[in-house]
């Protein structure tokens, strides 16, 4: 298929960006979206132009590196990561706009690459449990009810891609933070630091410049791992409890 691409080009963090139009041809519907961008970059390099900078690592929907805003939708028209989006989701002759995540807390580094280290700092603030390392403990020594184990596992699937922030009109990181807080607060190992964790993470989230949640739900709709919106309720309940000291 032949496509028109309008791609955000920005030479660095402190310079203005602009949309630049490119034509690509003979794109197979079996290509991933990133392979289509690879094809564009080969074309640009062959003609002596700068290739488009974009992030990727695993290309298997695991690492969360590859987020792009594709025609106004985080990760594009399917509920998946950009690397798992295939060109069969588009039609011959389509015009596709490709932009970086837009959020104050995710500054543009270059072209489609943003700095998502704000998420790392939220995790550093409390998204962990403090345990001595060593041999893996016997799992049956710490029974976890099935319902809690399932919810902890489901929320642990968050890959920190940032689509929730990009999709939210408030650029809130509360779905990401809610997933991390819920994952640990469902498990016995997460109880000792439960109150301190949620307060530290929320403080860091606000310090980074993410907005608050106003229950719009775009975050959960855009999430490639389908993290449910109610993790934000868990986050808020844990935060209130910690602040009350109850």
Q: How far is the CB of 143 from ligand FES (least distance, A)?
A: 33
Q: Which is nearer to ligand FES, 83 or 187 (CB)?
A: 83
Give residue 112's region: left, alpha or beta (phi > 0; psi -120 to 50): alpha
Binding-site member from 11, 57, 92, 104 for ligand FES (CB under 6 A): 57
CA distance 117 to 106: 8
Interaction between residue 83 and ligand FES (CB under 6 A): yes
CB 151 within 8 A of CB 186: yes
Residue 87: CB minimum distance to ligand FES, A: 15
Exactly one of 3, 10, 37, 61 binds ligand FES (CB under 6 A); which one? 61
Helix (H, G, I), strand (E, B) or coil at 205: helix
CB of 174 to ligand FES, least distance (A): 21
Minimum CB separation of residue 38 from ligand FES in Å reads 12
Stretch that binds ligand FES, among 25-33, 39-47, 54-62, 169-177 (CB under 6 A): 54-62
Q: Which of residues 9-28 bind ligand FES (CB under 6 A)?
A: none
The C-alpha atoms of residue 42 and residue 196 are separated, in whole angstroms, by 49
Q: How far apart are CA 7 and CA 100, in angstroms?
A: 9
Query: In this structure, are residues 66 and 54 in contact, taking their beta carbons and an 8 Å threshold?
Result: yes
Residue 187 tokens read as 């498990």
Measured from the CB atom, the residue of 70 and 202 that comes closer to ligand FES is 70
Other CB atoms within a 10 A radius of the CB of residue 216 amount to 14
Give φ, ψ of 7 to 5 degrees: -115, 135
Q: How far is the CB of 31 from ligand FES (least distance, A)?
A: 15
Nearer to ligand FES, 63 or 129 (CB): 63
Structure tokens at 52: 């488009």
Q: Which is nearer to ligand FES, 81 or 182 (CB)?
A: 81
Name which of 65 and 227 has its Cβ closer to ligand FES. 65
> Which of 59, 102 has the CB closer to ligand FES?
59
59 binds ligand FES per the rule CB under 6 A: yes
| 66 in contact with ligand FES (CB under 6 A) | yes
28 backbone dihedrals φ, ψ, rounded to 5°: -80, 145
Q: Least separation, in Å, of the C-beta of 78 and ligand FES?
A: 13
Give the residue carrying structure tokens 């700095």. 115
Q: What is the torsion angle, in degrees rounded to the nearest 10, for the CA atoms of residue 54, residue 61, residue 134 and residue 130? A: 70
Tell me which residues touch ligand FES (CB under 6 A).
56-59, 61-66, 81, 83
């Amino acid at each position: 298929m032949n496509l028109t691409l309008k791609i955000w080009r920005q030479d660095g963090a402190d310079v203005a960006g602009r949309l630049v139009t490119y034509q690509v041809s003979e794109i197979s519907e079996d290509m991933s979206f990133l392979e289509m961008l690879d094809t564009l970059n080969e074309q640009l390099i062959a003609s002596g132009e700068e290739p488009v900078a974009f992030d990727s690592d695993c290309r298997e929907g695991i690492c969360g590196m590859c987020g792009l805003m594709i025609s106004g939708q985080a990760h594009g028209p399917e509920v998946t990561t950009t690397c798992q989006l295939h060109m069969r989701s588009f039609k011959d002759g389509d015009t596709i706009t490709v932009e970086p995540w837009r959020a104050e807390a995710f500054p543009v580094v270059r072209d489609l690459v943003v700095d998502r280290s704000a998420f790392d700092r939220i995790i550093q603030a409390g998204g962990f449990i403090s345990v001595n390392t060593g041999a893996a403990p016997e799992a049956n020594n710490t029974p976890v009810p099935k319902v809690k184990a399932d919810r902890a596992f489901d929320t642990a699937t968050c890959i920190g891609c940032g689509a929730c922030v990009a999709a939210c009109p408030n650029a809130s990181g509360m779905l990401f933070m809610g997933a991390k807080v819920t994952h640990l607060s469902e498990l016995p190992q997460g109880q000792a630091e439960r109150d301190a964790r949620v307060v530290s993470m929320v403080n860091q989230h606000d310090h980074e410049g993410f907005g608050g949640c106003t229950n719009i739900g775009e975050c959960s709709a855009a999430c490639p791992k389908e993290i449910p919106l109610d993790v934000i309720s868990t986050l808020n309940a844990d935060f209130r409890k910690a602040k009350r000291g109850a």
